[in-house]
Amino acid sequence: MVLNGIDIASWQAGINLGVNGVAADFVIIKATGGTGYVNPDCDRAFQQAIKSGKKVAVYHYAHELGFQGTAQQEAEFFLKNVQGYIGKAILVLDWESDNKGDVAWAKAWLDHVQSKTGVKPLFYTYTAVLNSYNFSSIANADYGLWVANYGSDAPQGYSQPKPPASPYWKSTVMYQYTSNGRLNGWNGRLDLNVFYGDKKIWDAYAGIKSSSTPTPSAPTPSKPTPAPTPQAKKNGIAIDNVSKDQATKIVQRVQTNYAWTLLRDKVKAVKQKDGRYTLSIRTGRGKRQEQTRARLSQELKSYYPGYIQSNVALVNGDKDSATLEARNMPASAFNGKSPFDVHMRNFLKDILLDGQTYAEANAYGTYDVRIKGEGFNDHDAPIVLKQIKDLGKAKDVKIDSTHIKGFKY
């Protein structure tokens, strides 16, 4: 026997999970992310699902952008916020953020949660991640696998497909086979899943004893309460679930249109006491530093052939704060219609914005874009967000503005 169900997050806030709502044998609800995010709709959805007789699970999104912590910190944050659900719901680690290759982190989170609850959480990720890193330590520790792999983006209802082959695991507990599910009672896309077992097996994964299976009259679980939120100081913009072509075009246009803003704190002119200027370029270590130095040397030779290149110094060269300084430059270089610092921001944007403005494939067969603008202060951020939404409206891009939002990191 198998069970059919959906997984939801705050994107589906208010969804009707009651007896007359969206049909599902089970509902998996995002509870927390990182060390500071709590889904505000989690408790409402949880209680409504329980009261209608549905099976439930709650998941933690590892390394939520802006709230990244250690495995133990994030496990403790999750446990604090779902303590009223333990023994009533399957616990899950959602593994698809910016630390996908850190298998030891995932294993540590799973082990910590099991040690505190006596319940083995499920491990969720998608096939491309499983094929990219060695997850044998997690599989060998008997943490069940919930895998995502979409064969088609066509609208569809429930089905019971066989799970894809996954390395390291001999069997799959649950399979998320589409992100474009269409069910009565919800006007939009839903993730659809098949659980390979019956309700008793579900209860076993949740650590539910037969005498304490949740019923409509069971005590109401306590509502998650967020721990103090870390002080995320930088502003960023997230663009989720777009095509590869859309992602490529929006990244290029953002880098072109916002090189000045994104790199304002990385490339700047500083006036010296003698009236001359220092061009300061924060590069960090490694290849980025080498590439930046080569381009700076090239541009200094082209625009200021008399400039003495030995005046270029490297400060904190072995640290992430490593900075190239072109010292003793004439004031005239930074005046007029084409200041040299502005020119270098544009000339270096592909190097310095690599890893700061980028696109990457996600679990849904689409792409996510992240714009981590160190220069977006709190005043600029909403203005830039609106402008980037306008960029997305271009005829050859056509990104729905609801896919674009600001975040802190």
Burial class (CB in 10 A: 0-12, 13-18, 19+), 346: middle
Place of tokens 């696998």: 145
Q: How far apart are CA 248 and CA 251, in angstroms?
A: 5
Q: Which residues contact 209 (CB under 8 A, 6 or more apart)?
A: 87
Q: In sequence order, what DSSP letters do the residues of 134-155 get, joined into one string?
A: --HHHHHTTPPEEEE--S--S-
String of DSSP letters for 213-255: ---TTSPPPPPP-PPPPP----EEEEEEEE-HHHHHHHHHHHH
DSSP state string for 359-379? EEE-TTSSEEEEEEETT--TT
Q: Say how far apart CA 54 and CA 224 lie, in whole Å.
A: 20
* Contact (CB, 8 A) for 194 and 3: yes
Please answer whether residues 213 and 380 qualify as being in contact, where contact means their C-beta atoms are separated by less than 8 angstroms: no
Give the pLDDT confidence score for residue 373 in this predicted structure: 60
- Cα–Cα distance measured from residue 327 to residue 313, given in angstroms and rounded to the nearest whole number: 8
Helix, strand, coil tally for the chain in percent (to 5): 30, 25, 45
Distance CA 92, CA 57 (A): 7
Q: Per residue of the chain (409 residues), what is the pLDDT tens digit?
A: 899 999 999 889 899 999 999 999 999 999 999 999 999 999 999 999 999 999 999 999 999 888 899 999 999 999 999 999 999 999 999 999 889 999 999 999 999 999 999 999 999 999 989 999 999 999 999 999 999 998 777 899 999 999 999 999 999 999 999 998 999 999 889 999 999 999 999 999 999 875 443 433 333 444 444 444 445 567 788 898 889 999 888 888 887 776 656 676 788 899 999 999 999 998 877 777 888 888 899 999 998 988 888 888 888 876 767 889 999 999 999 987 788 988 888 788 777 766 677 888 876 778 888 887 655 667 777 877 888 888 889 889 899 888 888 877 6
* CA separation for the pair 253, 312 (Å, rounded): 31
pLDDT at 319: 72
Phi, psi for 343 (deg, rounded to 5): -60, -45
Q: CB–CB of 300/326 below 8 Å?
A: yes
In the block, tokens 């992310």 appear at 33
How would you classify the pairing of strands 3-8 and 26-33? parallel
- For the chain, the first-to-last Cα distance in angstroms comes to 44
Return d(Cα 361, Cα 96) in angstroms, integer.
10
201: tokens are 């097996």
Q: In degrees, to the nearest 5, what angle opens at C-alpha 405 toward C-alphas 399 and 409? A: 135
Q: Which pLDDT belongs to residue 223?
A: 47
Continuous segment of H or E residues that includes residue 280: strand 277-282
